[in-house]
């Protein structure tokens, strides 16, 4: 627009020169002086780094006023003006193009966008892979399991009893004076049967166990061994023995405490066993107590199972059937078989430990009973023994088969305890029955913490799956993250050593931190990172990158804000308005004074007076610019520069007209025309509110050409109206159009 106005101004000034009867050379000289002045003013106002070129062109044009060959000076001036204009246009086009399409900053110290970062082996997997990994490691705890149980007894080796049956005291069970009366049969096993009985002198109900089949040396030896063990183990969870003797027929009798209750296997067969899980775990821990006591007395049970545990009506727990008990050392040699002497598989096939199946006497020991306790816990959790459906031949064919504890309804921690106890490697099991009991007791103590952990882990799994979606809703992400974090922290408050809760808290904080980083929320990401139990170098680096991007973005915002403040003409608009009023008033007063002096015959106005008035106005504006430079912004500084340059160009214009002998009235008309062109130019550069000012100057110039005799009145009216409209424009102009507003790249968010 500025170039178009300048070209139009040149044509109008040439027309005015023809109208005023100027010679072509003089008209061209005057036009070039004005054009060069406008070029200089424009370059200074726009800060296009063309001040040297434009001032050089202006000086070259002004040289036309010097004496010498007019054609030479005119040629040099034309060359200077063309060079300055071409350079100005090229630089202007380049700078506008750079502003319209800014490039992304690149180079050292500037991080690439997160989307362009290469994949690294140490970077966390994307959310969909995290979800898959999480489901794999924390997924459903099991599927269906075979529940068929089949007992298979192994071959029993006959060993000489530690005491002869004939040496036992006779316990009469029939006839007058009998001490014991046998009643109905209560149960039968592979090597014995149990009757209810009554101890007549004490009127005490007892349980009487006899060998079966009668006369079998193996059954007799087993009964005597059980009696020995029961008498040795004086423990609340082992059925006490009242007396060992023989009946009237010489068959051994084992009189024991009568326990009113049911086999534990019957209670565990109920599908609602998990409703009384605490009760059953209490029974299990009492069994562990009894087995641990036996181990301290040097005895292993070797046939622990739910059917060998009796639960009394009042909660008493008794471990039964010690017929396969073996001694761990020489203390019981001659009475019990030593574990080191075992050479054939004995026990219940569905429960037997691998070393029992292999008949590896050297490996049978405390860890063997721990395996059987694991089988007992397996029955509690799944409703089936660990090797359900396997015969002894099946077990011998694959003695070290690994048991998978598959119990969907069972707590994960109990399943882990069971799996450790059922490890084929004896060294990997619990070191003792007491250690296994303590593990179960620890679960009961910290169960609330564990249940909170399980619930929080489900939230983490849902969060990972949600983050794997293309555009996860922030509200759902925050809700799941907060619920999971609260659950883990509450679990750790109850049990600080809950490792699963610690790992889960680490994972949910990492997921939430990574989500905050992806959204560009540095503050939230930093807060989540600082809450991590363990540092994560990858997340720390990504947060540092995000902070650097934020600093660069803030710097750019500050720069753009400074640019906006710089082009804000709302600053000092009151001062500009009064400056225009004062400037116009001074010019009007000066013209009125010269008119009065002429009317009084004191002085005839001429170019000297006009040059002095314009020069003084230029000096005054220059002084105002220097005095207000520190209190105003860049837009006002440029405006003052533009005005001072225009006034200086007007001074040179008057000198050119004087030098060329142009009539004073015609020279003033050309001056008004020059002011009109400069006003239109400032309208193109700053605001169209300045158009009325240019129109006033243009009308005044035309009127001077038509009615030269009304020069004083036209000058006063022209300057008064022009500066009045300029004052109004200065009051309402709030932004300059000469500084392009920054435009963001397509698809990017605005910087502010």
Active site residues: 303
Q: In the chain, count of helices (H) and strands (E)?
A: 24, 10
Q: DSSP characters for 95-126?
A: HHHHHHSPPPP-STT-PPPGGGPPP-TTSPPP
The CA distances from residue 739 to 6, 563, 564, 582, 722, in Å, are 19, 9, 9, 28, 25
Closest CA to 587 of 706, 683, 696: 696
Closest CA to 498 of 555, 545, 437, 456: 456
The CA distances from residue 629 to 47, 632, 636, 706, 727, in Å, are 16, 6, 8, 42, 20
Q: How far apart are CA 671 and CA 677, in angstroms?
A: 10
Q: How far apart are CA 611 and CA 653, in angstroms?
A: 9
Rounded to 5 degrees, what are φ and ψ at 433?
-65, -35
CB 312 within 8 A of CB 260: yes
Contact residues for 11 (Cβ-Cβ < 8 A; gap 6+): none
Closest CA to 211 of 197, 234, 227: 227
Q: How far apart are CA 194 and CA 400, in angstroms?
A: 35
Q: How far apart are CA 624 and CA 581, in angstroms?
A: 14
Give, for 448, the enclosing helix (H) or strand (E).
helix 447-467
Closest CA to 217 of 157, 269, 167: 157
List the structure tokens of 649: 């160009």
**Would you say the C-alpha torsion 380, 385, 386, 389 has a positive or negative sign?**
negative
CA dihedral 127, 133, 136, 140 (to 10 degrees): -40
Other residues' Cβ atoms within 10 Å of the Cβ of residue 615: 16
Helical pair 522-530 and 499-518, crossing angle rounded to 10 deg: 160
Cis peptide before 213 (omega within 30 of 0): yes
> CA 433 from chain center: how many Å?
46
């Amino acid at each position: 627009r500025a170039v178009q106005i300048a070209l139009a101004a040149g044509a109008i000034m040439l027309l005015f020169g023809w109208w005023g009867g100027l010679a072509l050379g003089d008209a061209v000289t005057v036009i070039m002086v004005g054009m060069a002045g406008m070029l200089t003013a424009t370059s200074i106002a726009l800060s296009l780094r063309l001040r040297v070129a434009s001032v050089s062109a202006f000086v070259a044009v002004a040289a036309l006023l010097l004496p010498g060959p007019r054609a030479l000076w005119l040629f040099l001036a034309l060359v200077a003006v063309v060079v300055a204009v071409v350079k100005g246009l090229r630089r202007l086009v380049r700078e506008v193009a750079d502003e319209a399409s800014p490039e992304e900053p690149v180079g050292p110290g500037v991080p690439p966008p997160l989307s362009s970062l290469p994949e690294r082996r140490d970077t966390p997997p994307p959310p969909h892979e995290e979800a898959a990994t999480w489901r794999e490691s924390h997924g459903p705890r099991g599927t269906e399991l075979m529940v068929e149980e089949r007992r298979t007894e192994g071959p029993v080796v006959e060993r000489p009893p530690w005491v002869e049956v004939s040496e036992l005291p006779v316990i009469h069970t029939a006839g007058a004076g009998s001490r014991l009366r046998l009643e109905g049969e209560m149960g039968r096993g592979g090597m014995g049967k149990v009757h209810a009985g009554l101890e007549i002198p004490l009127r005490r109900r007892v349980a009487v166990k006899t060998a079966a089949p009668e006369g079998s040396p193996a059954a007799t030896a087993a009964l005597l061994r059980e009696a020995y063990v029961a008498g040795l183990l004086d423990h609340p969870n082992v059925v006490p023995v009242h007396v060992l003797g023989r009946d009237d027929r010489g068959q051994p009798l084992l009189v024991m405490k009568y326990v009113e209750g049911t086999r534990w296997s019957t209670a565990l067969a109920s599908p609602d066993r998990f409703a009384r899980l605490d009760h059953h775990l209490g029974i299990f821990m009492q069994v562990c107590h009894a087995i641990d006591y036996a181990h301290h007395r040097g005895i292993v049970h070797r046939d622990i199972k739910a059917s060998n545990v009796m639960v009394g009506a009042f909660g008493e727990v008794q471990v039964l059937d010690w017929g396969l008990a073996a001694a761990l050392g020489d203390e019981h040699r001659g009475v019990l078989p030593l574990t080191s002497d075992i050479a054939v598989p004995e026990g219940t096939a569905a429960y037997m430990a691998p070393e029992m199946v292999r008949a590896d006497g050297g490996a049978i020991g405390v860890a063997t009973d721990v395996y059987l306790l694991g089988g007992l816990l397996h029955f509690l959790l799944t409703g089936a023994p660990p090797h359900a459906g396997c015969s002894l031949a099946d077990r011998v064919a694959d003695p070290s088969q690994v048991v998978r504890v598959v119990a969907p309804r069972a707590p994960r921690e109990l399943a882990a305890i069971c799996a450790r106890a059922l490890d084929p490697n004896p060294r990997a099991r619990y070191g003792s029955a007491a250690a296994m009991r303590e593990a179960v007791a620890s679960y009961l103590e910290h169960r609330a913490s564990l249940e909170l952990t399980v619930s929080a882990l489900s939230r983490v799994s849902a969060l990972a799956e949600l983050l794997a979606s293309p555009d996860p809703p922030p509200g759902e992400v925050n809700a799941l993250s907060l619920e999971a974090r609260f659950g883990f922290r509450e679990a750790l408050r109850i049990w600080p050593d809950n490792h699963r809760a610690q790992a889960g808290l680490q994972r949910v904080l990492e997921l939430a931190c990574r989500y905050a980083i992806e959204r560009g929320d540095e503050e939230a990401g930093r807060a989540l990172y600082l809450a991590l139990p363990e540092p994560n170098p990858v997340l720390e680096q990504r947060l540092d990158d995000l902070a650097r991007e934020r600093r660069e973005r803030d710097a750019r915002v500050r720069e753009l804000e400074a640019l906006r403040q710089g082009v804000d003409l709302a600053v000092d608009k009151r001062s500009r308005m009064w400056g225009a009023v004062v400037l116009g008033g001074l010019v009007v007063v000066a013209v009125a004074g010269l008119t009065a002096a002429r009317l009084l015959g004191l002085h005839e106005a001429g170019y000297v007076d006009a040059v002095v008035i314009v020069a003084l106005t230029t000096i005054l504006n220059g002084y105002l610019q220097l005095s207000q430079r520190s209190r105003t912004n860049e837009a006002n500084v440029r405006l003052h520069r533009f005005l001072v340059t225009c006034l200086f160009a007007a001074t040179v214009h008057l000198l050119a007209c004087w030098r060329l002998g142009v009539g004073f009235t015609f020279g003033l008309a050309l001056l008004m025309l020059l002011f009109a062109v400069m006003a239109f130019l400032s309208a193109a550069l700053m605001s169209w509110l300045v158009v009325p000012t240019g129109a006033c100057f243009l009308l005044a110039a035309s009127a001077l050409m038509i009615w030269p005799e009304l020069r004083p009145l036209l000058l006063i009216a022209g300057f008064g109206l022009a500066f009045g409209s300029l004052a109004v424009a200065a009051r309402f102009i709030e932004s300059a159009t000469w500084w392009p507003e920054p435009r963001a790249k397509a698809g990017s968010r605005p910087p502010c």
